[in-house]
Amino acid sequence: MRNTIKFIGIIALVLLTGFFILGCKIIMPEDSGADNSNNTDNTDNTGDGFVPVTNITGVNTSVVIGTVSLVGRVVPSDATNQTIKWSLQPGGDIEGKLNGNKLTTTEEGYIIVRATIEDGTAVGENYTKNFYIFVDPFVAVESITYDGPAYDEVGIIYLDATVYPDDASYTDIVWSVSNAGTTRATIKGDVLTTKAEGTVIIAATIVNGLSEGKNFTQDFSIFVKGDNDNDDDDPD
């Protein structure tokens, strides 16, 4: 009887050992597969999160004779490398000079420049893009005609003017106060704000309006008076 019990115990131990080994064989490949899957994911995501350049936009392809600064916007904005290096390319019908991003021309026509971003596409692979830049003759500003009110009440005045000739190379006006007098005037953009009666002299300036590095400026006078006529109508 004892031998029978002992035999049964041995059989049970063997069976349990077999089940344990079989279970390990079933579980271990699963774990190994999970680890391999993670390793594959890690392999796909290796590196330092490199973001390649896909485009360069915003390059001014129409300029005037003289010296201009070449600038561009890198797409996407979070590209890993974004430093643009400019170079002249053969094929244009005029010559020019480049110093960094400064392009200098002395005649009208077109010129070809190349924008290069080192390692822009991938490590060891640069991103490049060519641009045709058309150079127009310089047309200087001759005069500015003020189209806004020359007489107004204290408060806000919207400034407006016309540049002549209308094909002048530069026509953007920058407004400023030349002499506020007693008006305590300030300007923001094309809006003049006065706080007291008097005469304010404003200046309209066009950067590079006369020539490269030489601005065109013209002054205008505006008289402002206090809004006293409406005091009687004030409900307060």
Q: What is the pLDDT of residues 46-102, one digit of tens each?
A: 357 999 999 999 999 999 998 899 999 999 999 999 999 999 999 999 999 999 999
Residue with tokens 């923001």: 188
Residue 10: pLDDT over 70: no
Q: Which residue, among 192, 199, 196, 200, has the nearest Cα to 161 in the 3D structure?
A: 192
**For residues 98 and 170, is the Cβ–Cβ distance under 8 A?**
no
Which pLDDT score is estimated for 226?
82
**What domains are defined for the chain?**
55-136 (2.60.40.10), 143-227 (2.60.40.1080)
Rg, C-alpha atoms of the chain: 38
Residue 171: pLDDT over 80: yes
Residues 60, 142, 198, CA angle at the centre, nearest 5°?
105
Cα separation, 101 vs 104, in Å, equals 10
Backbone φ, ψ for residue 8 (5° rounding): -60, -40
Which pLDDT score is estimated for 7?
53
Which pLDDT score is estimated for 194?
96
Q: Among the listed ranges 126-130, 151-155, 210-214, which one has the minimum average pLDDT value?
A: 210-214
Mean pLDDT of the chain: 83
Percent of the chain at pLDDT exceeding 70? 75
Which pLDDT score is estimated for 83?
96
Q: Which helix (H) or strand (E) holds 30?
A: helix 2-44
Q: What's this model's pTM, rounded to 2 decimal places?
A: 0.59
211 pLDDT tier (thresholds 50, 70, 90): confident
Reduced 3-state DSSP string for 65-102: CEEEECCCEEECCCCCCCCCEEEEECCCCCCEEEECCE
Which pLDDT score is estimated for 16?
54
